[in-house]
């Protein structure tokens, strides 16, 4: 799509910090003139017209913790990481496999910057995973998987699920649903999960062999120990929700040299609790690194390098993993979408429709 002006103006959601509302504002992207005299994306960048954005807990966590001082760093903090949309321009010297006109999905990774709840987004494919949309899913579904499936893959990186016994904490979360599916695909012998009873059938369809209802057992240590008594210790614990319930008995739960991978650490909340939890999490990681634990403990994060996204795309294209959408909200109902996400009741991704594709 050739542009006739050096500035592309569009609507985007942004805020200064948690003391200010998230508002729809006018944003601009600076384009560069090409030899034909029209304007295109700057070198190394892909310009996208966004169709859907999906929300993640990191979006509201950042909104709540971004301290006032940071407003001087960026007065227009964007909202949203996951996106789907159309490639409308590609700058010179951009290393990418996508082409103008392709429908794509991906993750906008710069955290203190713009966001995907916007009509346009300029992405650097060196740091933002982006790939063409699988042909068997809608554009709304396309926005719903990148961050959570990518995180689930990162959690399982280096683990051989074949014939293993796996405990997935928070299997009902968007990430957890993929961890269960990947463990099953990898050939796990047993997949025990914590999740509420409302998704019992779904989680067992995805691959859980036994479930512990965390609402019935807020401290699920005893049911886990009971399970160990019946069928032995776990090779891997994958924590998608955060918490410390198992640590008092961890050596009776995990095999020696087993792995405990978490994406949250000790505290799922924010504020002082999260800070104290963070200190304990980092200390445990240090103990693990220096061989002072019987198991490997790691806090893992989504990998910004885009290598994994094509493997993830293949899993979707081949129908090997399912995508879950809780609800799609219109662009002007971002507030309601955030409330739904923050309620902790969403069953899958909360998606925002920026523009329906023609
Ligand atoms: N480190 C990273 O790179 C990274 C990346 C992605 C996400 N995260 C973090 O991972 C966490 C999960 O993210 P998400 O997007 O997958 O979450 P989500 O989809 O928003 O999770 C919602 C689900 O959480 C489950 N849940 C609520 N309370 C629970 C409890 N006490 N124990 C277990 N499950 C509970 C509920 O499932 P049921 O009631 O149906 O069981 C609910 O449907 C968040 O804290 C997020 O910030 C970290």
| Residue 278: per-residue pLDDT | 87
Q: Are residues 346 and 251 in the same domain?
A: no
- The total of other beta-carbon atoms located within 10 Å of residue 313's CB is 21
Tell me how far the alpha carbon of residue 274 lies from the centroid of ligand 1, in angstroms: 15
Burial class (CB in 10 A: 0-12, 13-18, 19+), 163: exposed
Q: Take atom 34 of ligand 1 and give the residue whose Cα is closest.
A: 170
Q: Are residues 167 and 294 in the same domain?
A: yes
Which pLDDT band holds residue 54 (cuts at 50, 70, 90)? very high
- Residue 115 pLDDT exceeds 80: yes
Would you say 181 and 191 are in contact if contact means Cβ atoms under 8 Å apart? no
- Structural domain of 251: 158-299
Cross-strand pairs, 59: none
pLDDT tens-place string over residues 229-240: 999 999 999 999
- Residue bearing tokens 């805020």: 15
pLDDT tens-place string over residues 68-108: 666 677 778 999 999 999 999 999 999 999 999 999 999 99
- Residue 139 pLDDT exceeds 80: yes
- Of ligand 1's listed atoms, the one at least distance from the Cα of 176 is 16
Is position 344 within any domain?
yes
Mean pLDDT for all residues in the chain: 94
Record the tokens describing residue 24, joined without a space: 């729809």
- Residue 304 pLDDT exceeds 90: no
Burial class (CB in 10 A: 0-12, 13-18, 19+), 185: middle
The whole-angstrom separation of Cα 130 and Cα 261 is 25
**101 contacts: CB under 8 Å, gap ≥ 6:** 86, 87
Is position 137 within any domain?
yes
Which pLDDT band holds residue 272 (cuts at 50, 70, 90)? confident
Pick from 9, 63, 51, 26: nearest CA to 335: 63
Residues with a CB atom less than 6 Å from ligand 1: 56-58, 61, 147-148, 151, 170, 172-175, 194-196, 198-199, 214, 240-241, 263-264, 268, 301-302, 344, 346-347
Q: Are residues 70 and 31 in the same domain?
A: yes
Q: Take atom 39 of ligand 1 and give the residue whose Cα is closest.
A: 196
pLDDT tens-place string over residues 184-231: 999 999 999 999 999 999 999 999 999 999 999 999 999 999 999 999
The whole-angstrom separation of Cα 253 and Cα 233 is 5
Q: Are residues 69 and 162 in the same domain?
A: no
Phi, psi values for residue 208, rounded to 5°: -70, 135
Cross-strand pairs, 65: none
Q: Looking at residue 285, which CATH number applies to its domain?
A: 3.40.50.720
| Residue 267: per-residue pLDDT | 80
Tell me how far the alpha carbon of residue 175 lies from the centroid of ligand 1, in angstroms: 7
Q: Are residues 255 and 166 in the same domain?
A: yes
Is position 164 within any domain?
yes
Q: Using N-to-C axis directions, what is the helix angle for 57-65 and 334-342, rounded to 10°?
A: 100
| Residue 277: per-residue pLDDT | 83
Tell me how far the alpha carbon of residue 154 lies from the centroid of ligand 1, in angstroms: 16
Phi, psi values for residue 187, rounded to 5°: 95, 25
DSSP state letter for 81: -
Is position 152 within any domain?
no
DSSP state letter for 118: B
Grouping H, G, I as helix, E, B as strand and the rest as coil, residue 168 is strand
Is position 174 within any domain?
yes
Record the tokens describing residue 98, joined without a space: 């996508």
Tell me how far the alpha carbon of residue 346 lies from the centroid of ligand 1, in angstroms: 9
| Residue 314: per-residue pLDDT | 97
Q: Looking at residue 100, which CATH number applies to its domain?
A: 3.90.180.10
| Residue 284: per-residue pLDDT | 96
Tell me how far the alpha carbon of residue 336 lies from the centroid of ligand 1, in angstroms: 19
Tell me how far the alpha carbon of residue 75 lies from the centroid of ligand 1, in angstroms: 29
Q: Take atom 44 of ligand 1 and give the residue whose Cα is closest.
A: 57
**Residue range 156-174: mean pLDDT, rounded:** 97
Q: Are residues 242 and 120 in the same domain?
A: no
- For the chain, what is the domain count? 2
């Amino acid at each position: 799509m050739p542009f006739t002006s050096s500035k592309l103006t569009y609507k985007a959601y942004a805020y200064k910090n948690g003391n200010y509302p998230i508002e729809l504002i006018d944003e601009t992207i600076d384009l560069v003139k090409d030899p034909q005299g029209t304007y295109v994306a700057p070198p190394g960048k892909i310009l996208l017209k966004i169709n859907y954005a999906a929300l993640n807990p990191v979006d509201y966590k950042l909104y709540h913790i971004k301290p006032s001082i940071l407003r001087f760093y960026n007065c227009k903090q964007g909202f949203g990481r996951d996106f789907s949309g159309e490639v409308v321009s590609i700058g010179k010297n951009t290393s990418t496999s996508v082409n103008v006109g392709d429908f794509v999905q991906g993750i906008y990774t710069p955290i203190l910057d713009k966001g995907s709840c916007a009509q346009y987004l300029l992405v650097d494919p060196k740091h933002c995973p982006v790939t063409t949309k699988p042909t068997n899913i809608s554009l709304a579904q396309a926005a719903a998987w990148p961050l959570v499936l990518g995180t689930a893959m990162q959690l399982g990186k280096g683990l051989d699920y074949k014939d293993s016994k796996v405990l997935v904490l928070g299997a009902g979360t968007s990430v957890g649903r993929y961890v269960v599916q990947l463990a099953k695909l990898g050939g796990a012998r047993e997949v025990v999960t914590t999740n509420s009873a409302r998704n019992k059938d779904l989680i067992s369809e995805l691959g859980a062999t036994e479930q512990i209802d965390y609402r019935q057992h807020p401290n699920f240590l005893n049911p886990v120990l009971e399970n160990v008594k019946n069928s032995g210790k776990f090779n891997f614990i994958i924590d998608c929700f955060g918490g410390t319930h198992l640590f008092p008995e961890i050596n009776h739960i995990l095999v020696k040299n087993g792995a405990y991978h978490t994406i949250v650490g000790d505290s799922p909340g924010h504020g002082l609790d999260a800070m104290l939890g963070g200190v304990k999490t980092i200390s445990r990681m240090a103990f693990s690194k220096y061989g002072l634990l019987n198991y490997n403990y790691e806090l893992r994060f989504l990998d910004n390098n885009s290598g994994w996204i094509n493997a993830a795309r293949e899993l979707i294209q081949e129908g090997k993993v399912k995508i879950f959408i809780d609800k799609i909200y219109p662009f002007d109902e971002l507030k309601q979408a955030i409330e739904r996400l923050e309620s902790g009741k969403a069953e899958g991704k909360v998606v925002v429709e920026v523009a329906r594709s023609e």
